[in-house]
Chain A
Amino acid sequence: MTMTIELPVRDSADEATSPAPSGRLRRWARPALGLLLPVSLALAWELIVWLGLSSGRLVPPPTKVFATIADLARSGELMRHVTVTLTRVAAGFGHGVAVGTLFGAISGYWGLARRLIDPTVQALRAIPSIAWVPLFILWLGIFETSKVALIAVGVSFPVYLGVMGAILSVDRKIVEVGRIFRLSGPAMIRRILLPAVLPAYVVSLRVGLGLGWMFVVAAEFMGASEGLGYLLIDGQQLGKPTQIVAAIVIFAILGKATDWLLEIATAPWLRWQDAFATQGGPI
């Protein structure tokens, strides 16, 4: 409709510079470009091992890795490890997000609170989170609690920073619009601050989720009997590089998939930001 005429210039410039002739081709060609490098590397390595130029013992070729994943899947092992790891990430991420959001919001909203708690939080943030491991094991035991706590610590800091920064950078001019219309405190938060903060918040959630996946490995290194991190350690101790690479591949897939889910889940609230969504959106 007439709307397309009014779209920002950037879009038309994009279209002009894009070599792909049709929108559909462009839609598939771009992600495919990203796959080009890893797929050709994998194929090359497969070929090298197949030609006997390398034994492939320490760096297993893709077929072997996928065979291992298939074996693990068939025996039900894979499901068990993935479930355990996902549960830990979910619990740690949930707690970390809750704590990070709460304190980030408090620090962002009240200047006094920020002066009181922010220096402490920044000091704690400077500690490498892995350094907490021995203490958490002493405090919380060797089982799930200490693992979830470690992940939560890792997740909470980027979320805290993201929320605080986002609130601090909310445009004063937009806040004045709220004041002109005499919004109460809660209405100001609901109608101005929350929507304004949301884009940066989603970014911090995604950073937090990435760190959650990092810390679940660290957590599972500290004496787990299940989980993908356990598969890594097990593979190292028993000299099974195929199993290690298989676990790494699964980590990559899960990490990307959860990040994508987060992106999809938050997209409806960020539709106003996205230049392309509006073109096909229900307008």
Chain B
Amino acid sequence: MLALNSLSKTYPNGVHALARFTAEIQPGEIVAIIGGSGCGKSTLLRAIVGLDRASSGTVTLDDTPIVAPHPKIGIIFQEPRLLPWLSVADNIGFGLSDLPAATRRETVARALARVGLADKANAWPRELSGGQAQRVAIARALVPQPEVLLLDEPFSALDAFTRKDLQDHLLDLWADTRPTLILVTHDVDEAVVLADRVLVMRPRPGRLFEEIKVNLSRPRDRNSPLFGSFKHHVLTALDRSLDRGVPDRDVKAGVGGSMWW
């Protein structure tokens, strides 16, 4: 279980990015974090993955404190961040350098086939489309078999069709090993289609505002009325989170999965 315990972050320039963020995320759970800009979503992910340390509070994975990048926690960024001087296959195998070459090749080949890019093994990243490059990034993050995979607006730079395609693909890949997914997004559709639970954050300082459980079986029909009502609920929560007149709620009681509506 991933436990975020009262995480706060104040940057050296005085920006109070995150305030006492607490959540518990179960193994295999998919959590979407959504909120207006400046609500500390990215700060939160960077603290969880161990790239930046929180000013106070702790991140623990199965009671192990996370203070630096950890082999069980992977991340996919908004940009694919492929290494341009490595072939697609070598990019995917980048985190597997401890494995013997033969095993690594095999794992990479399987991952390439799994994301549907087997014919691109020897291509340079420059030769890929945006969607293909992000697939490679997903494969690179998944081959070390992380228990927790963080996604920082992973599909926001893609066109609507590719985005939908990759959302479905991500769920498909997730079903293989069922890692915990924590997804930061601006896209309400994306949050509702992917997540078991949507955490709505409010900005300045970034903090948890509301938590919405999405009790929909998968695969989810984006056009069903129930899907629409969940979307509506998340949108309403987002609107309220940006309205300074609405006071913070005591969300602590809700952590763990109770429904708020």
User: Which of B5-13, B14-22, B122-130, B154-162 lies on the face that meets chain A?
Assistant: B122-130
A182: interface (CB < 8 Å): yes
Nearest opposing residue in chain B for A180, CB measure: B69
B94 within 8 A of A: yes
A182 x B81 contact (CB < 8 A): no
- Report B-chain residues with C-beta under 8 Å of the C-beta of A254: none
Q: A272-B124, A278-B127 are in contact. Are A179 and B51 (CB under 8 A)?
A: yes
What is the CA–CA distance of A28 and B129 in the complex, to the nearest angstrom? 32
Q: Does B83 contact A (CB under 8 A)?
A: yes
A7 within 8 A of B: yes
Q: How far is the CA of A176 from the CA of B74 in the complex (A)?
A: 12
Q: Mark B128-157, 1 if CB is under 8 A from A, else 0.
A: 110000000000000000000000000000
B27 lies within 8 A of chain A by Cβ? no
| A25: interface (CB < 8 Å) | no
Kindly state whether residue A2 has any CB partner on chain B within 8 Å.
Answer: yes
Chain B: number of interface residues, binned into ranges: 20 to 34
Are A180 and B51 within 8 A (Cβ)? yes
**Chain B interface mostly:** loop
The minimal Cβ–Cβ distance linking B138 to chain A, given in whole angstroms, is: 14
B95 in the interface (beta carbon within 8 A): yes
Q: Is the CB of B79 within 8 A of A173?
A: yes
Is there a chain A Cβ closer than 8 Å to B85's Cβ?
A: yes
Contact assessment for A173 and B81 in the assembled complex, using a CB-CB cutoff below 8 Å: yes
Pick from B69, B81, B94, B127: contact of A7, CB below 8 A: B127
Is there contact, CB below 8 Å, between B81 and A176?
A: yes
Cβ of A187: which chain B residues have Cβ within 8 Å of it? 97
- Distance A2 CA – B132 CA, assembled complex (angstroms): 14
CB-CB < 8 A to A3: which residues of B?
A: 123, 127
With A176-B51, A180-B74, A182-B71 known as contacts, the answer to whether A278 contacts B124 (CB < 8 A) is yes
Known: A181-B69, A278-B127. A174 touches B81 (CB 8 A): yes
Q: Does B30 sit within 8 A of A, measured CB to CB?
A: no
Q: How far is the CA of A196 from the CA of B122 in the complex (A)?
A: 19
Complex formed: what's the CA distance from A62 to B110 in Å?
A: 65
Most buried by A among B68, B69, B94, B124: B124
A195 part of interface (Cβ distance < 8 Å): yes
- Contact status B51-A283, CB under 8 Å: no
CB distance from A278 to the nearest CB of B (A): 6
Query: What is the bound-complex CA distance between A57 and B68, given in angstroms?
Result: 76
The answer to whether A177 and B83 touch across the interface, beta carbons within 8 angstroms, is yes
Q: Are A8 and B126 in contact (CB under 8 A)?
A: yes
Q: Determine the chain B residues whose CB is within 8 A of the CB of A189 once the complex forms.
A: none
> Given that A177-B83, A195-B83 are contacting pairs, would A283 and B126 also be in contact in the complex, using a CB cutoff of 8 Å?
no
CA distance A3 to B119 in the complex (A): 9
Instruction: Check A272 against B126 for contact (C-beta < 8 Å).
Output: yes
Q: Cβ of A181: which chain B residues have Cβ within 8 Å of it?
A: 69, 94-95
Min distance, Cβ A186 to any Cβ of chain B, angstroms: 13
Shortest C-beta distance, A8 to chain B (Å), equals 7
CB under 8 Å from chain B, chain A span 234-283: 269, 272-273, 275, 278, 283
B174 lies within 8 A of chain A by Cβ: no
Given the known interface contacts A174-B83, A181-B95, A283-B122, the answer about A6 and B127 at a Cβ–Cβ threshold of 8 Å is yes
Asked whether B75 is an interface residue with its Cβ less than 8 Å from the other chain, the reply is yes
Q: Does A102 contact B (CB under 8 A)?
A: no
B256 within 8 A of A: no
The residue on A at minimum CB distance from B124 is A272
B71 x A6 contact (CB < 8 A) = no
Docked Cα-Cα span, A8 to B124, in Å, equals 11
Q: Identify which of residues 44-63 in chain B touch chain A, using a CB-to-CB cut-off of 8 Å.
A: 49, 51
- Is B254 an interface residue, CB under 8 A from the partner? no
A268 CB to nearest B CB, Å: 11
Per-residue A-contact encoding for B93-124, CB less than 8 Å = 1, 0 else: 01101000000000000000000000100111
- In the assembled complex, 21 residue pairs joining A and B whose CB atoms fall closer than 8 Å, in A order, are A8-B127, A173-B77, A173-B81, A176-B51, A177-B81, A177-B83, A177-B94, A179-B51, A180-B69, A180-B74, A180-B75, A180-B95, A182-B68, A182-B69, A182-B71, A191-B94, A198-B85, A272-B85, A272-B86, A272-B124, A278-B127
Binding site for A on B (CB under 8 A): 49, 51, 68-71, 74-75, 77, 79, 81, 83-86, 94-95, 97, 119, 122-124, 126-129
Q: Shortest 4 CB-CB distances between A and B: which pairs? A: A195-B85, A181-B95, A272-B85, A6-B127
Seed contacts A273-B84, A283-B122; 20 additional CB < 8 Å A-B pairs: A6-B123, A6-B127, A6-B128, A7-B127, A8-B127, A173-B81, A174-B81, A176-B51, A176-B77, A177-B81, A179-B69, A180-B69, A181-B94, A182-B68, A187-B97, A272-B85, A272-B126, A275-B126, A278-B124, A283-B123
Interface residues of A (CB under 8 A from B): 2-3, 6-8, 173-174, 176-177, 179-182, 187, 191-192, 195-196, 198, 269, 272-273, 275, 278, 283
